[in-house]
Amino acid sequence: MEMTKAILVTLPLTLVLAAGAWGQDLNCDMAAYKPQEGLKAQLHGGTLELTWQGERREQLRAEFAIRNGQPIVDELAARGNNGKWIILGKGLTPEFEITSGVRRLSEQQMAPLRELRTEFTPEVVEREKWNAFWDSPLMVPGRPGTNMGLPRKPEEIRKVWAKFNSTGCQVKTDGARIEVVFPGFDGGIFSGSLQYTVYRGTNLLRQEAVAKTNEPSVAYKYSAGLKGFAIADDSRVVWRDTARGWQHYAFGGGLNQEMVGLKARNRLAILESGGGSLAFLPPSHKFFWSREIETNLGYVYYRKDSASAFSIGARQADREIGAKPWGSSDEVWNRRVGEARGDLNNFALYNAPPGTMQRMPVYFYLSPQDSKATQQAVMEFTHDDVYKPLPGYKVLVSHFHFHFNEQLTDAGTMDQEPTWLPVFRSLGINMAILADFHGDSHPADTGKLRFNEQKVYFDGCQRFSDRDMLLIPGEEPDANFGGHYMFVFPKPLFFSHLREPAKGPAGQPFSESLAPFGNVFHTTTAATELNLLKQEHGLVWQTHPRTKGSAGYPDAVREKDFFRSDRFLGGSYQSLPVDLSQKRLCEVRCLGLLDDMNNWAGPKYMIAEGDTYMKYPDDETFPQLIVNYVKLDRVPKFDDGWSPVLDAMRAGDYFVSSGEVLLRNSAIEGTGAKRTYTAEAEWTFPPEFAELVWSDGNTVDRQTISLSDKAPFASQKFRIPFDATGKKWVRFAVWDSAGNGAFTQPVHLK
């Protein structure tokens, strides 16, 4: 007895030893836990119990234990106001399946680097391979000529179910959340911990593996969920299908050997049990790596494991499913079938550079209400997968290879509505910059063949533009500026482009009058392209900078007159690559370039782009699209031109957003050294941090403001004093706990 007392005296108040139902003592370090109203943790009876307050003042409960080193979710429960506790699950085991392959540098990246006479040293390959888009690590042996070091070998692919060897847990209060960490996660080549997080003011429970690998060149995907749910008379999984019809499965069928991937609308399925419901879903944007299409691959799953138990969770598929090809001729049909087989060389997975701590989450949403009410509550996190309207702003998207001209030509009419248009409308998009003549039509023609196709393109954009939808005909010429880049003019403009030293027909001038098109232009050099942009008030930006066909750009042209021109807007922003150790979407490649460009020159910006192909209403587009909120009072009419759009972009009067975080009224107050950055922000998911980023022209620094104590579904006015002495520019951003965010464009200080 005296020895026991002595041991307990040496331990912090954080340890509770209790013989639980699982026959194992639960030792939890609670030194970093601080109780607060609506957010509590306590140890009793061999379990750790978390209770917290939900969005509508519901009471929520999660209990944890350990059995033979295996963390157990002993119970999940929810209670409405003055109601009884509804048990949503008992004796549940977390499950993670991790599939990994080898990351390879793509030939598409190597081509522009070769033109820049880059030597492919081990250091260059190591740096560039992590920006690969055209990589499909799970496709064996791979398509020849697409990646360095092919063919792939079957033994490169490793698929493991995680194991656990936990001896206790750590409980930590961080603002308005509690984090519970179980060490001893073993995911094959990954090792780390299992973490659960609950947030006061929301019904979310986040389960995630936090793990790293020390192996080189790892690309991976994961599935995560809970198993051990009891099959009862009232238990069933419900979801909306891609046509938004409600479906359900009540576990009356045979056993499943694999996960049943549900092509659920909005990446959401819900377990009904005991009169309550438990939704399960992945993060709304950060879960998804870049693809060329958005076909729904089934991102949530169930699995009937026995006659009495089943599992649920979130998943990524093993391979791409091609787009639906179309075309009126065999030539066009065959070309589009080839494009639709992108699964052979584009299914890139996540990056896991050695030593980086990867976070692999799945969300559960506990509710005492029925599945319909729960579905509506969960959809509030993404505004029902709509980019929420903001007064004084219009939503702009860019860079889509729809082959619109060919679609209309194939149809033989201007009155066939394209399948992608209702997709844009349902997302709340007001303006879209298209990018025909990229693998379609005759982009290199310099005469009437191309101009006739451009005429169809312009007429189609005019035909389907409306009071709240403007279709802007852009193009990705990829001729003389280096890498890939986008051209946009403030009105329809007939022009051709050739790559130097290729020349058009003898004596072809920079501009000429050509019936029935009027004035047309021809460019054959970087100088004539810049001249055209200046004369016609166009804008250009580097598409997918530092990756794909723009590897090495715009770095290689940072001293060129066209890059230094105010016509060169900057670069495009999309979540490529995806590294789940990063707190921000496209943290290194995109935001790193944004900061670099503004150190090199005057104001340069990032414009969110899709860079995708065909879309259909049954696609899952929202999670794979980031947008621009442009400061405009109205959508310009097509016939009036869209100079206001380009002027606002050139002035930096827009912010980039994944949709869940919104910014407005950002400004800098004051003059001289003492200034204040002001902005209003709103968010849905529990927020993570705000940041003011600045540079003196060489070194980038930032002030980070933790928001972990802030409630979900809230807003805040920020006033951040800063010393402007020696600073060249500043920008502002807010990021949430699910990895979503929004950022303003840099403001150069005078």
Residue bearing the bigger pLDDT, 4 or 691: 691
- For residue 501, with 0-12 CB atoms within 10 Å meaning exposed, 13-18 middle and 19 or more buried, which class applies? exposed
pLDDT number for residue 321:
85
pLDDT at res. 180 = 98
pLDDT above 80: residue 25: no
335 — pLDDT class (breaks 50, 70, 90): confident
Compute, in degrees rounded to 10, the torsion defined by CA atoms 81, 86, 91, 97. Answer: -80
Residues 6+ apart with CB under 8 A from 115: none
C-alpha to C-alpha distance for 22 and 46, rounded to whole angstroms: 8
Going by pLDDT thresholds of 50, 70 and 90, the confidence category of residue 327 is confident
pLDDT recorded at residue 10: 35
For the segment 264-291, the average pLDDT, to the nearest whole number, is 97
Span 526-582, pLDDT tens digits: 999 999 999 999 999 999 999 999 999 999 999 999 999 999 999 999 999 999 999
- At residue 24, the pLDDT reads 60
Q: Find out if CATH 3.40.1350 is the number for domain 2-99+160-381.
A: no
Please check the confidence at residue 323 and state whether its pLDDT lies above 80.
no
Tell me the β-bridge partners of 653: none
pLDDT of residue 325: 74
Q: Which residue type sits at 147?
A: N
CB of 218 within 8 A of CB of 202?
no
Does position 4 have pLDDT exceeding 90, yes or no?
no
Residues 6+ apart with CB under 8 A from 244: 265
Q: What is the mean pLDDT of residues 578-595?
A: 98
Inform me whether the pLDDT recorded for 98 exceeds 60: yes
Percent of the chain with pLDDT over 90: 90
pLDDT range class, residue 341, cuts 50, 70, 90: low
Strands 70-79, 86-102: pairing is: antiparallel
What pLDDT, on the 0 to 100 scale, is given for residue 12?
Answer: 37
Contacts of 69 (CB under 8 A, 6+ apart): 164, 165, 166, 167, 184
Higher pLDDT, 358 or 499: 358
Tokens of 655: 């912010």
Do residues 718 and 690 lie in contact, with contact meaning Cβ atoms separated by under 8 Å? yes
- DSSP calls for 174-201: ETTEEEEEEEEEEETTEEEEEEEEEETT
d(CA 95, CA 100): 17
Mean pLDDT of the chain: 94
Distances (CA, A) of 125 to 118, 129, 226, 510, 709: 10, 6, 39, 41, 42
Model confidence at 437, in pLDDT bands (50, 70, 90)? very high
Q: Which of 477, 498, 494, 602 is nearest to 543 (CA)?
A: 477
pLDDT of residue 187: 98
Whether pLDDT at 13 is above 50: no
**What is the arithmetic mean of pLDDT over 349-364?**
98
Distance CA 30, CA 36 (A): 14
Exposure string of 559-585, with b = 16+ CB inside 10 Å and e = fewer, is eeebbeeebbbbbbbbbbbbbbbbebb
| 343 has a pLDDT exceeding 70 | no
| pLDDT range class, residue 324, cuts 50, 70, 90 | confident
**Is residue 11 pLDDT above 60, yes or no?**
no
Tokens describing residue 533: 């942009």
* Domains 2-99+160-381 and 660-750 fall in the same CATH topology: no
Q: Is the pLDDT of residue 8 over 50?
A: no
**Average of per-residue pLDDT across 284-302:** 96
pLDDT band at 5 (very low <50, low <70, confident <90, very high): very low
Of 125-129, 502-506, 540-544, 703-707, minimum mean pLDDT range: 502-506
87-112 mean pLDDT: 98
Find the angle CA(334)-CA(337)-CA(343) to the nearest 5 degrees: 145
**Is CATH 2.60.40.10 correct for 660-750?**
yes
710 vs 554: CA distance, rounded Å = 39
Q: What is the pLDDT of residues 102-116, one digit of tens each?
A: 999 999 999 999 999
Domain boundaries, the chain: 2-99+160-381, 383-659, 660-750
Using the structure block, give the residue that is written with the tokens 């970087």: 526
Averaged pLDDT for residues 161-168 = 96
Q: Please state, in angstroms and as integers, the Cα–Cα distance from residue 351 to each residue in 92, 132, 292, 578, following that order.
A: 30, 9, 18, 6
Tens of pLDDT, residues 33-87: 999 999 999 998 889 999 999 999 999 999 999 999 999 999 999 999 888 999 9
Looking at the chain, the number of H-run helices and the number of E-run strands are 12, 42
Lowest mean pLDDT among 117-131, 342-356, 394-408, 520-534: 342-356
pLDDT tens figures, 622-632: 999 999 999 99
In the beta sheet, which residues pair with residue 117?
A: none
Mind listing the pLDDT tens digit for each residue in 617-668? 999 999 999 999 999 999 999 999 999 999 999 999 999 999 999 999 999 9
Residue whose C-alpha is closest to residue 283's, from 204, 351, 211, 354: 204
The secondary structure element, H or E, covering residue 517 is none
Residue type, 143: R
Write out the H or E segment, with its range, that includes residue 533: helix 526-535
